[in-house]
Amino acid sequence: MSSKNSRIRVALLAAVIAVTGLATAGPALAATPAVAPAVTVTPSQAQDPAIPTDFVDLPTSPLRADAPQELTVTYRNTTSAPTTVAPQLLVTSPDTGPFLAPSDIKVERRTGHGCWVAVRLGSQTGTLFTDLVGAERELGAGETLEERYRVTVLDPEAGGTVEPRVALYG
């Protein structure tokens, strides 16, 4: 018998043994209990972000290109129970176009320390908006929300309307 035939026989025998081993190991692996995940997800982490149940529209103003425009979103909780709210700015494009892009304006929010911080804008069919996620706050009975914003037009051709509102939850 040549060494070439021996090598082929050895390779064939190794392949048969490997296939046989996998076939017998399959049921054993299937019967092995699953290992618990290393990270446990609590119910609060697994929930989707809250969805507003209503919006309170506040007075609108035209988008001004000549100077930064400051406005205050104010909402008073007139109920006898705490309520969750979130301020939001919408900047809508003119009906005749062109649609606004997030690069056309800059929106900033004033912090409790008096500093202005940039607010990221979303965009949908010509309407720019500030995100509600992370803006939620709980107002106690009789408390008032006051959020200060500054809108600066970066594209002098941009036009539209600034529409502040407050999202109500629950």
Give Cα 19 distance to the centre of its chain. Answer: 49
Amino acid at 116: W
Planar angle of CA 131, 98, 158, nearest 5 degrees: 70
Full-model pTM:
0.69
Task: Render pLDDT for 17-49 as a digit per residue (tens, 0 to 9).
Answer: 554 554 444 444 444 444 444 444 445 444 556
Write phi, then psi, for 46 (nearest 5 degrees): -80, -15
Task: Render pLDDT for 108-149 as a digit per residue (tens, 0 to 9).
Answer: 999 999 999 999 999 998 899 999 988 999 999 999 999 999
Give the dihedral of Cα atoms 148, 159, 168, 87; nearest 10 deg: -20
Pairing of strands 121-124, 61-62: unpaired
Give the chain's mean pLDDT.
Answer: 81
